Amino acid sequence: MRRVLVLFSCLVIGLNAGCALHRSAEKSLAEKRSREKEARTAATQWLALIDAADYPAAYALEPQRLRTATTQEQFVRSMESRRAPFGKMLSRTFIGAAFTRKMTGAPDGRYESILFRTSFAQKSVAAERVILSFESDAWRVVDYRVY
């Protein structure tokens, strides 16, 4: 009888711990989805400005530390040279996102890399990567690439 009681106690403790782990995993997954959704929304809003060639407005959304290092004119020239060759954006589909706390050449922080499959007038199949950093209580674009 004592063995049965010990076995039952272990089973209850194990199931309780398992439930706690499950709740923790669900909370982590919900936090991940929420963070990814916020970052993706910020990336999409920023890309809409780039698509409209409203580069000054896109520049204004960048973190202060980047605006200190780059003038608006430099940013505008950079975006024009990156996007003009591809022409008008025709379609954009979210592919995925990845979170990290470290990036080469940047301070440790909270970074989300968002990847899109994009079709442009002059490039039918392309990938766009937008890297955002969580700064001043908002996701802000710190890097943009078209492949």
pLDDT in tens, 58-87: 999 999 989 999 999 999 999 999 998 999
pLDDT for the residue numbered 98: 96
Rounded to two decimals, the pTM is 0.79
| Cα distance between residue 107 and residue 21, in whole Å | 32
| Cα distance between residue 74 and residue 67, in whole Å | 10
| Cα distance between residue 55 and residue 133, in whole Å | 19
pLDDT for the residue numbered 11: 44
- List the one residue out of 146, 147, 145, 143 whose CA is nearest residue 62: 143
Number of CB atoms found within 10 A of residue 119's CB:
15
**113, 131 Cβ separation under 8 angstroms:** yes
pLDDT for the residue numbered 39: 97
Write down the architecture of domain 31-146 according to CATH: Roll (3.10)
pLDDT for the residue numbered 16: 55
Query: What kind and span of H or E run contains 70?
Result: none
How does pLDDT run along the chain (147 residues), one tens digit per residue? 566 554 445 444 554 555 554 555 666 888 889 999 999 999 999 999 999 999 999 999 999 989 999 999 999 999 999 998 999 999 999 999 999 999 998 899 999 999 999 999 999 999 999 999 999 889 999 999 999
Task: Return the DSSP state at 108.
Answer: S
Which residues, in sequence order, are CB contacts of 51 under 8 Å at separation 6+? 88, 89
Spans of all domains in the chain? 31-146
pLDDT for the residue numbered 145: 96
Token readout for 96 is 């995925």
